[in-house]
């Protein structure tokens, strides 16, 4: 069973930018209600896409420099990386089926 991996500034290059698969990075915070709503959706998608898309989480309170580097202005923000480059961005809560459509468009 695949789950989103927690990533910080120290592991971002290895876990996200150098990953052989596309990576969806969830920029979130503990106090964010929509982030908490998105968490189970991302866990389901991590299982659905196991082996084809990797999922990661970055806590913006603990990694403010990383959030600033990617221009995260509101959360949740999902940034999709493919071959180390940003391939798409989704801001705010989104239901699973709509999120799947966005992911498919960004990684294919």
Tokens 């709509």 correspond to what residue? 98
Q: Look up 35 and say whether it is catalytic.
A: yes
**Catalytic residue status for 32:** yes
**Residue ranges of domains in the chain, CATH in brackets:** 5-107 (3.40.30.10)
State the alpha helices, DSSP H only, in 53-94. 64-69
**Which is catalytic among the residues 32, 45, 53, 75?**
32
pLDDT digits (tens, 9 = 90+) for 19-75: 999 999 999 999 999 999 999 999 999 999 999 999 999 999 999 999 999 999 999
> Of the residues 7, 23, 24, 35, which is catalytic?
35
Q: What pLDDT was estimated at residue 88?
A: 92
The pLDDT of residue 104: 87
This prediction's pTM: 0.95
Nearest alpha-carbon partner for 61 in 26, 27, 29, 91: 29
- Residue 104: which residues within 8 A CB-CB, separation 6 or more? none
């Amino acid at each position: 069973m695949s789950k989103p991996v927690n990533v910080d500034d120290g592991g971002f290059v290895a876990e996200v930018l150098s990953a052989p698969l596309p990576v969806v990075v969830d920029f979130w915070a503990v106090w964010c209600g929509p982030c908490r709503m998105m968490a189970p959706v991302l866990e389901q998608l991590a299982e659905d896409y196991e082996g084809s898309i990797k999922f990661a989480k970055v806590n913006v309170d603990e990694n403010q420099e990383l959030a600033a580097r990617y221009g995260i202005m509101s959360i949740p923000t999902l940034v999709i990386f493919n071959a180390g480059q940003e391939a798409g961005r989704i801001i705010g809560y989104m239901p699973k089926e709509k999120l799947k459509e966005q992911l498919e468009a960004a990684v294919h």
